[in-house]
Amino acid sequence: MRIRIATIFLLAAVLVSPMVAQEASDDPHYLRAVELREEALAAYDLGDYDGAADLARQAKAELALYGGGLSPLPASYTVQLIPGDRDSLYKIAGFPFVYGDGELWYRLFQFNRSTLQHPDDEDHIEPGEVIKIPSIDGEHREGEYDPSRTYPDFKDR
């Protein structure tokens, strides 16, 4: 039963995903996502719930690579010195292009602990330190955060 529910949610996420952009018809990631979606629906109809869930995950990953003209989610963020509004791991995790949830700050801390200037103090990050952003659900991330780019929201991908 748990597999069926999880599969239904994964398929719903893929079906609701923004798959209608005009320029998408030429994008190989978009085309592959549509193909995988159809395969997932067919597998689901045949009762192959595990196979359908796997195909839905693959379709979702292809859609993340397409991005509809948006930059892929950034793989790193450089800590900024902002007077009166200092960066923190909580604040960084809460950025929509990171996780959109400050409560996930500890994931950033654990992943970056070995490279931080103060690895035993989770509340102490220094301007200029580069925080690597680990993938949570296999989402595609690349490059350094650039404020001049437009990124999708992590929760909308």
The Cβ of residue 99 has, within 10 Å, a number of other Cβ atoms equal to 23
| Per-residue model confidence as pLDDT tens digits over 11-70 | 555 444 444 444 556 778 778 888 888 999 999 999 999 998 898 888 877 776 665 556
Look at residues 25, 3, 17, 2 and name the one whose alpha carbon lies nearest to residue 139. 17
Lowest mean pLDDT among 78-87, 99-108, 109-118: 78-87
Same-domain pairing of 146 and 85:
yes
Same-domain pairing of 56 and 91:
no
**Mean of per-residue pLDDT scores for the chain:** 82
- Count the domains in the chain: 2
Same-domain pairing of 90 and 118:
yes
Structural domain containing residue 33: 2-69
Helix (H, G, I), strand (E, B) or coil at 144: strand
Q: The pTM is what? A: 0.58
Side-chain-facing half-sphere of 113: CA atoms under 13 Å: 9
Helix (H, G, I), strand (E, B) or coil at 132: strand
Helix (H, G, I), strand (E, B) or coil at 71: coil
Beta carbons of 115 and 39 less than 8 angstroms apart = no
- Domain-ending residue, one of 30, 50, 69: 69
- Domain-ending residue, one of 26, 50, 69: 69
- Domain-ending residue, one of 13, 45, 69: 69
